[in-house]
Amino acid sequence: MRLPGKLVPEALKTLGKDSATIRYPEQSRSMPDRFRGRVAFDPDGCTGCGMCERHCAADAIVVEADGSEISWRYDESACMFCGQCGESCPTDVITMSEEYDLASSDPASFETTHTFER
Amino acid sequence: MAEETTIPIGPQHPSLKEPANFELTVEGEQITGAELSISYNHRGIEQAVRSKSYLENIYLLERICGICSHSHTTAFVRGVEQLLGLSVPDRARYVRTLVAELERLHSHLLWLGVAGHEIGFDTLWQYAWRDREAVMDSLEELTGNRVHYSINTIGGVREDIDTETIDAIRDRMAELSDRIDFYLETVPAERTVQLRCEDVGVVSKQRAQELCAVGPTARASGVQGDVRKDEPYAAYDEVDFEVITAEDGDLLARLQVRIEELAESVAIIEQVLADLPEGELKASQKPPQALLAGIESGDVLSRYEAPRGELTHFIRSDGSDTPERVHVRVPTLANWPTVVEALKGSYIADTPIVVAGIDPCISCTSRIGVAVAEDEATLADATDSGVVGVDESGTDDDPGGYTLDDLREYGIEWYEGGDTR
Amino acid sequence: MSLAVELGQSLFYVLVFPGFAFLFGYALVAEYADRKLYARLQNRVGPPAVQPFADFLKLLSKESIVPEDAEGTIFEAAPIVALAGVLTPILYVPIWSVEAVFAFQGDLIVVLFLLTIPSFALIFGGWHSRNAFGQVGTVRTLTQLFGYEIPFFLACLAPAVAAGTWSVSGIASFVGTRPLYIPVFAIGFAVALLSLQAKLERIPFDVPEAETELVTGPLVEYSGRKLALFRLTKDVELVVGAALLSALFLGGPYPAGAIADVGSTAGAVIGFGVFLVKTLAIVFVLTVLRAVLARLRIEQLVSVFYLWLVPLALIQLAVVGVVGTTEVIP
C-alpha cells in the first residue's frame, strides 16, 4: 500500500528554517547593479540628438529642440524599463536607477522635464 | 443524474487566471464533451508591431508573455538576423542559451507550483516558488530584470556575464539541483498527487501527433519533438542534453517530464558556464539604425523551443526598418486541442488541473492565425473555434480575405447580436 | 444555593467560561496557531497574532449582502444556527476538571449531534443562496457528510464502549485514570482525526470549498457579518472538535489529577493547562495534515472513508471488545 505524506519530513524540517519571505515594506531587498529602475537623466552632456526618443518603444521620452534650448521629457508611467535609451545614448547621460517603487496617485508626478541650453 | 447538462467554465472562473471558455457537456460528474472558445483578450500586438522599428519591436514582442519573454525576443531577433545575414558571436549565443535555460527553469518551477495549487497542494506551490526565486535572482543579476530580461538585441546580447555572476549562478544551480532531486523523489510518488494525476487528462501518442501538440505536453505522450534538437539554434548544437519523454500521456507523465526537464536545464546551464567562449557580444558595432538600413526584403520563419513548446515567429520584411508583418504562433495554441481531448472522460473536478496541465498562456494565445473565409458562415465557425485573424497583407491579391474594417464591422454585428444568441 | 445564584452561574458558564467568550477567544487563538504553523511549514512569515481578530472585525464592518435570488430567511439564519450549534457542545466536554459544566448520561450523543449542525447550516445556507458554485458545493458537502460521519461516530464509540458510559466526562475520567488505554485507541484516534479534518472541510478533504474549483462552495455568496460568523463557526468547531477528541481519546484534563487535587484551584489551573496543550497538539496534527497533502476528488474521498476508515473503526471496536473481555488492562 502506498501511503500519502511523502512531504512530512520536509515540512517539519522547514519549520526550523528562516522565512523565505520578508515583511515588505518594512524590510526590502537590495537591487543588483544591473537592475533597471526609473530612468535617470543628467542634462550635462546631453547633445539633444534624440536617439533615446527614436529608440523608445513605449514613446516615453520626447526630446524637443527650440533653437539652442532643449527640452527632454520623460513619462515614467509609459516607460517599460527596457533600458534601450541608455544603450542608445551616445554621451551616456541616461542611466537606469535603482528606484522601483514608483506607484503614485498623482499622475503629474510621473512626468519629468528637463529644459537646458545645448 | 444520467441526463446531460452543459456547464460553462470561464471566461471568468477561479481556476483560470486568464479568460478562456469551456462548454462542458456532463453526465453527473463525468465530462462527455467539451468545446473551447478563446481569444477573449486580443491585444493587437501584431498590428502594433507594424508601426515600430525592428529594434523597438524586440521590447514590444517581449511583452507578449511575462514568462517566456526571452523566447519571444530570441525567436524574433533570430529571424531579423537571418534577414540581415548577421552571424551572432559565440559568446552571445552562449549567453542566450544560458538565459533561455534559466527561463525554462523558472517557467517549469512556476508550473509545478500552479499545478500544486490547482490540486489543493499549496505547500508544493510555496516550495516550488521559493526555489524558483534562486532562478529569478540569477536572471535579475544577469540581465537587470526579473521578468523582461531585454538581453537580446539584433546581432547579439546587450549584457556580458562576469565571473562573479557565473560563480553565483553555479552555487544556486548546485542547490537547485538538490531541490529538483527532492521533487523528483517526492512529488510523483506522493499518493494524493497520484490520485489526482494518474490516468487523468490522458492524450495518447497518436492523438498528440494528430492534434499537433508541442513541448512537454507532446513529449509526455511519447512524441519526440524538441526544436533545440531538431533545428538547433543559439548554442544547443554544442551542449549535451537529452529530450525527456514519457509514455503515459497523463498528468503524472507531464509532471514527471517537466521535473526531469528541470534537471536537464541545470545540466545545460552548467555546461554553458563551463564552456563560455571569450569574444564579442554583438555581431556589429554599428548603431542599430545603421544596421537596419541594410535589411533585405523577404520572409523568414523562426522556430524556438519555448518552455511550453515550439514557438514560431513569421517575419515579412519590405526592406524598410519596420516589419511589414510579424505573425506569432505560441505553443499554447498548438496545445489547446489536447485539452479538449483530455477533458472528455474526465471528472468536472479535474477541469482546473487538466487545463493547467498544458501550462497554458491564455492571453499570449490571443492573436491567432489567418482565416480567409469564403462566406459569413465559415467565418462564424472560425470565430467560434477562435481561429480568426486579419489578413491585411493578402487583401490585394486575395479578394476573399477580410480587411481590418470588414472584421471590425463583423465584430460589432456579432456582439450586437449576442443578446439573442 | 439559591435559584438566582445557580442561574447566574449557569449564565456565566454559557456566556463567559467555557462558553461564548472563552470559545471566541480560544477559537481565534487556534486559528492563529493554525495559520501561523501552516505558513511556517511553507517557509512563509505568516500572520501576526491579532490577524484572525482583525479579519473578524473587518468582516463585521463590511456590507452583508443577501443575493436577490436567495431565500432570505434561511440564508440569514444559517450562520447563526451554525455558530450556536458549535458553541453549545463545549458545555458537555470536560475542560479543567473531570466533570464538564453540564454532564449527564448520554451527552456524547448530544455533542456529536450538535457538531453536525454547522454542516447542515452550511448545506441549507449554501443551497438557498441559489448560486451555481454554492449549490455544487452544497451537494458535495452533503456527500462528504455521509462519508465522514459514520467513521467519526464509530471511532467515538470505541472509548464509550470501553468506558461503559455515554457521558463525555465519564469517558474522560475512565481513559484518564487508565492511561494504558490511550495506545489501545490509537486506530480510533487516527480515524477520528481524519474525520474531524473532513468535518472541518480542510485539505485534503476540502472538496466542497475547493478554492480552485468552486471558489468557496456554499460560502460563495456570503459576505460581511454572515461570513464572519461562518468563519468563526469553523474556528470554534476546530477547538470543540479538538477538545472532544482530547477528552475521548487522551483522557481530557488528566494527568492533572495526579499532580494536584482535581477539585482544588491548583488542580483546575493545571487541568486547564493540560487541556490547552492537548487541544493545540491536535490542531498541530491537523495543520500538518493540511500542509502535506493534495485535495482528493469527491468520489475518492468517499471511497477513502468507506473502504479504509469505516473498516478501521470497526477493527478498533473489535480491539476494544477483546481488551475489555480479556481484562489485560486493569
Tell me how far apart the terminal alpha carbons of chain B are, to the nearest angstrom.
27
C214-238 pLDDT tens trace: 777 788 888 888 899 999 999 999 9
**pLDDT at residue A29 in the model:** 84
The band of B372, judged by pLDDT with boundaries at 50, 70 and 90, is very low
Question: What is the grid cell recorded at C81?
Answer: 444556527
**pLDDT at residue B401 in the model:** 54
Phi, psi of C273 (to 5 degrees): -60, -45
User: Which of B68, B83, B69 is closest to B326 using CA atoms?
Assistant: B83
Q: Among the ranges B408-412, C52-56, C129-133, which has the highest mean pLDDT value?
A: C52-56
Chain B contact for C37, CB < 8 A? no
Domains of chain B, first to last: 45-342+356-361 (1.10.645.10), 369-421 (no CATH)
Whether residue B193 is annotated as binding a ligand: the answer is no
> CA-to-CA distance for B286 and C322, rounded, in angstroms?
91
Q: Are B401 and B391 in contact (CB under 8 A)?
A: yes
How far is B53 from chain A, CA to nearest CA, in Å?
Answer: 8
- Contact check, Cβ <8 Å, A8/C288: yes
**pLDDT at residue B385 in the model:** 42
- Contact check, Cβ <8 Å, B195/C297: yes
Contacts of A116 (CB under 8 A, 6+ apart): A43, A46, A69, A70, A72
**pLDDT at residue C132 in the model:** 77
CA angle B163, B166, B169 (to 5 degrees): 150
Mutation target to probe the B interface, by most B beta carbons within 10 A, among A84, A88, A96, A97 is A84
> CA-to-CA distance for C141 and C98, rounded, in angstroms?
35
Domain ranges within chain C, ordered by starting residue = 15-324
C95-126 pLDDT tens trace: 877 777 777 888 889 999 999 999 889 888 88
* pLDDT > 90 fraction of chain C, expressed in percent and rounded: 23
Mutation target to probe the C interface, by most C beta carbons within 10 A, among B119, B194, B347 is B119
> CA-to-CA distance for C131 and C264, rounded, in angstroms?
54
Mean pLDDT over each residue of chain B, to the nearest integer? 84
Chain B contact for C61, CB < 8 A? no
Contacts of B159 (CB under 8 A, 6+ apart): A34, B95, B142, B143, B144, B151, B281
**pLDDT at residue C259 in the model:** 61
Question: What is the grid cell recorded at B281?
Answer: 557580444
* Mean per-residue pLDDT, C34-48: 90
Among chain C residues, the shortest Cα distance to B196 is held by C296
* Mean per-residue pLDDT, B233-262: 90
> CA-to-CA distance for C44 and C47, rounded, in angstroms?
9
- Contact check, Cβ <8 Å, A7/B288: no
**pLDDT at residue B370 in the model:** 39
Mean pLDDT over each residue of chain C, to the nearest integer? 86
User: Which of A96, A100, A77 is closest to A85 using CA atoms?
Assistant: A96
> CA-to-CA distance for B26 and B6, rounded, in angstroms?
6
**pLDDT at residue B159 in the model:** 87
- Contact check, Cβ <8 Å, B191/A54: no
Amino acid letter, A20: A
Looking at per-residue pLDDT, the higher value among B362 and B71 belongs to B71
* Mean per-residue pLDDT, B131-140: 92
Contacts of B373 (CB under 8 A, 6+ apart): B379, B382, B400, B402
- Contact check, Cβ <8 Å, A11/C293: no
> CA-to-CA distance for B159 and B139, rounded, in angstroms?
12
Residues in B closer than 8 angstroms to A34, CB to CB, are: 140-144, 159
Chains with 3+ CB–CB pairs under 8 A to C are: A, B
Q: Are A68 and A117 in contact (CB under 8 A)?
A: yes
* Mean per-residue pLDDT, C179-187: 85
Evaluate if residue B394 carries a pLDDT over 80: no
* Mean per-residue pLDDT, B180-192: 88
> CA-to-CA distance for C24 and B106, rounded, in angstroms?
44
- Tell the CATH topology of A32-99+109-118: Alpha-Beta Plaits (3.30.70)
- In the sheet that B4-9 helps form, which strands lie side by side, from edge to edge? B4-9, B21-27, B30-37
Evaluate if residue B373 carries a pLDDT over 70: no
> CA-to-CA distance for B299 and B317, rounded, in angstroms?
6
How far is B139 from chain C, CA to nearest CA, in Å?
Answer: 23
- Contact check, Cβ <8 Å, C292/A8: yes
Chain B contact for C261, CB < 8 A? no
- Contact check, Cβ <8 Å, B192/A4: yes
- What count of CB pairs under 8 Å joins A to C? 36
Q: Are C238 and C83 in contact (CB under 8 A)?
A: no
Among chain C residues, the shortest Cα distance to B118 is held by C212
Phi, psi of B370 (to 5 degrees): -100, 120
> CA-to-CA distance for C185 and C315, rounded, in angstroms?
11
Question: What is the grid cell recorded at C302?
Answer: 468517499
Mutation target to probe the C interface, by most C beta carbons within 10 A, among B125, B126, B193, B353 is B126
Mutation target to probe the A interface, by most A beta carbons within 10 A, among B49, B50, B53, B56 is B56
> CA-to-CA distance for B245 and B253, rounded, in angstroms?
9
Of C40, C292, C293, the CB nearest to A15: C40
Chain A contact for C291, CB < 8 A? yes
B78-125 pLDDT tens trace: 999 999 888 899 999 999 999 999 999 999 999 999 999 888 888 999
Whether residue B212 is annotated as binding a ligand: the answer is no
Question: What is the grid cell recorded at C201?
Answer: 472541510
CA angle C320, C300, C295 (to 5 degrees): 100
Of C41, C46, C293, the CB nearest to A4: C293
Question: What is the grid cell recorded at A66?
Answer: 527650440
- Contact check, Cβ <8 Å, C44/A20: yes
